[in-house]
Amino acid sequence: MTETSDTRAAETRLITSGRDALVIATIMVGMFLAPFDSSIVNIALPTLATDLGVSLSQVAWVATAYLLTSASLILAMGRLGDVVGLRRVYTAGFTVFGIGSLACAFAPSLAWLIPARVLQALGAAMFFATGPAIVANTFPAKRRGRALGMVTLAVSVGLMAGPPLGGFLLEAFGWPSIFLINVPLAVLVVFVSSRALPADEPHDVTFDVFGSIWAGGALVGLLVSVSRAAEFGLDFGTAASAAIALVCAVLFVRQEMRHPHPMIDLRLFGNAELGSATVGPVVNYLAMFTATFLLPFYLLRVLGLGESAAGLVLLATPATMAVASPLAGRLADRFDNRRLAAGGLLGVAAGLGAISLLPVDASMVTVAAALVVLGVGASLFGVPNTNLILGLVPPAQRGIGSALVGEARTVGMALGIALSSAVVTIVLAGSDMLERGGVLSAVDAETFLGAMALATRIGAGLAVVGMVILVVGRRRH
């Protein structure tokens, strides 16, 4: 075999050396832990409320503080990776995350636990923002899609493993164990990443501190305003949060236009292809979460399933993504990423359309089948779209490119929950049917189904709009 054929053969394999394997494994741990730590805590909230002697509304801040902190910092951490080095930020993120996890495990009160969760979220933002960028810089374009497919696989496994493993740890060892389980993994990654991940030289530029502050303020204001709007409507708190988001957004744009080394180079979005690809994750997760938020109510209150059975059905989407994401990565290395992502959004729309047609007596298999279609579409969109974005962003700015994908995901999830919640609130017209215990009556079940159908059809329509934006973006480019 000639040297050229040897090179081509190597390019067809994802892992060509032991170091490649270590890079993939190290980044996969980070991509697993961030969603895992978010999902595992949710199942522990009732236990935390009882043990710490607080109300459910108070203990909800354990989850909310994590979400808001990571959302406000992920862009800044991505840019920090571009400035001081991706490996440095990724490794430091696990150090902070491990310390935060220890602090959470030994928290004597809610007043201690919430700041510890903020520290955890800071660490998670650091490694979640920089991980995909390290993959993009390590693997050549012909193998990048498959590498990102493995990263997406880790995210799906993290989402799947959280609830069942959290339930086991709670019953066997108590709630501190759900935080302590992070510590050995964090120590291992700190040890391995400093040796296995490729070194990258810091850039001789200043970090845009005020840009990161205004960006964080705009994102937190946006998330708080949409969450309040769904729960309380357009009250003073909602208006104030929206106003803060708008002011911070204006200050952010002004700062970025003036700073010699901005956190986000806004000129990048003069490329219509990159702009449309960045909008894609927002639309994708907004559409998907119209179903993700409402399906538990449908399974428990309409079909009358138990919590274990409902959880098993809901695993269909992340399980499908765990299988399909590596395959989507292979396709991303061979075919046009934009067309694949557009096809993925069409699959998401098809899955949501199927969910909107579910009757009051659907079988578990029928619901799971619709969720499988949704998972296939999400996988076919996610990996190619991420590969597209990281391929369009200059190598020196891949940290912020990676962070943009994560930020778009968070914003889309929040908007999807707010949209579906608002639709249900309007359709139910003040009814307390969902607050009452037990399975819904036939009349109430039909009313709820109408609300879920409307929300998921809106989500399907938005997915189609996202597909059009992707196609038009390519033509404009």
Domain boundaries, the chain: 17-200, 208-262, 268-477
Confidence class for position 224, pLDDT limits 50, 70, 90: confident
In CATH terms, are 17-200 and 268-477 the same topology?
yes
pLDDT, one tens digit per residue, over 266-302 is 776 666 677 777 788 888 888 888 887 788 778 877 8
DSSP H or E segment with residue 22: helix 18-42
Orientation of helix 316-334 relative to helix 307-314, angle to 10°: 10
With beta carbons less than 8 A apart as the criterion, state whether 198 and 138 touch: yes
Indicate if the pLDDT at residue 133 is higher than 50.
Answer: yes
The winner for highest mean pLDDT among 124-128, 395-399, 434-438 is: 124-128
pLDDT band with cut points at 50, 70 and 90 for residue 98: very high
Helical ranges in 299-397 per DSSP H: 307-314, 316-334, 337-356, 364-392
Local confidence band at 203 (pLDDT 50, 70, 90 cut-offs): low
Tell me the one-letter amino acid at 106.
Answer: F
161 and 134 in contact (C-beta within 8 Å)? no
Q: How far is Cα 132 from Cα 340, in angstroms, rounded to an integer?
A: 19
Query: What is residue 6's predicted lDDT score, i.e. its pLDDT?
Result: 42
pLDDT in tens, 186-197: 888 888 887 778
Q: State the amino acid at position 133 in one-letter form.
A: A
In this prediction, residue 202 carries a pLDDT of 66
Sign of the CA dihedral running 190, 393, 330, 469: positive
Question: Comparing C-alpha atoms, which of 339, 402, 355 is closest to residue 138?
Answer: 402
C-alpha 127: how far from chain center: 13
Q: Reply yes or no on whether the pLDDT at 357 is more than 90.
A: yes
The values of phi and psi at residue 12, to 5°, are -85, -10
- Residue 254: what are its φ and ψ, rounded to 5°? -60, -45
Q: Which of 340, 324, 357 is nearest to 150 (CA)?
A: 324
Q: What is the mean pLDDT of residues 69-79?
A: 82
pLDDT reading at 108 higher than 80 = yes
Tell me which of 3.90.79.10, 1.20.1250.20, 2.40.50.140, 3.40.50.720 is the CATH number of domain 268-477. 1.20.1250.20
Q: What is the DSSP string of 342-364?
A: HHHHHHHHHHHHHHHT--TT--H
For residues 423 and 113, the model is more confident at 113
In which band, very low, low, confident or very high, does the pLDDT at 350 lie, cut at 50, 70 and 90? very high
Give how far Cα 195 sits from Cα of 89, 189, 190, 203, 265, Å.
Answer: 14, 10, 9, 21, 31
Half-sphere CA count of 170, side-chain side, radius 13 A: 17
Give the other-Cβ count within 10 Å of 163's Cβ.
Answer: 17
Average pLDDT over residues 425-436: 69
**pTM of the complete model:** 0.73
pLDDT of residue 293: 75
pLDDT tens digit sequence for 15-42:
455 677 788 888 888 788 877 777 777 6
pLDDT level of residue 46 (50, 70, 90 thresholds) = low
Distance CA 67, CA 171 (A): 25
174 φψ region: left (φ > 0), alpha (ψ -120 to 50), beta (else): left
Q: What distance in Å separates the CA atoms of residue 22 and residue 42, rounded to the nearest whole number?
A: 31
Inter-CA distances, 368 with 278, 353, 381, Å:
30, 14, 20
- Mean pLDDT over the full length of the chain: 80
414: closest CA among 32, 67, 58, 77? Answer: 67
Whether 210 contacts 35, CB under 8 Å: no
Q: Which helix or strand (DSSP H or E) is residue 62 part of? A: helix 61-84
Contact 259/242 with Cβ under 8 angstroms? no
**DSSP 8-state symbol, 300:** I
**Residue in 187, 188, 168 with CA at minimum distance from that of residue 178:** 168
Terminal-residue alpha carbon distance, the chain = 41
Which alpha helices (DSSP H) does 259-271 contain, by range? none
Could you tell me if 87 and 398 are in contact, meaning their C-beta atoms sit under 8 angstroms apart?
no
In contact, 132 and 405? CB cutoff 8 Å: yes
For residue 353, give the amino acid letter.
G
pLDDT class for 405, splitting at 50, 70, 90? confident
Q: What are phi and psi of 159, to 5 degrees?
A: -65, -40
CA distance 279 to 38: 24
With a cut of 50, say whether residue 5 has pLDDT above it: no
- For residue 436, name the pLDDT band (cuts at 50, 70, 90): low
3-state DSSP assignment of residue 15:
coil
* pLDDT score, position 355: 93
By CB atoms closer than 10 A (0-12, 13-18, 19+), residue 235 is exposed
97's tokens: 């995350």
C-beta neighbour count of 334 within 10 angstroms: 10
* Mean pLDDT, residues 185-211: 77
Residue pair 110/54 in contact (Cβ under 8 Å)? The answer is: yes
Residue 214 has pLDDT above 80, yes or no: yes
Structure tokens at 152: 């997406």
Confidence of residue 4 (pLDDT cuts 50, 70, 90): very low
Q: Averaged over 250-262, what is the pLDDT? A: 82
The mean pLDDT of 336-352, rounded to a whole number, is 90
CATH architecture of the region 17-200? Up-down Bundle (1.20)
The average pLDDT across 32-53 equals 76
Quick one: what percent of the chain has pLDDT higher than 70? Answer: 86
- Mean pLDDT within 45-74: 76
Distance of CA 35 to the CA centre of its chain: 7
Q: Find the mean pLDDT for residues 343-348.
A: 92
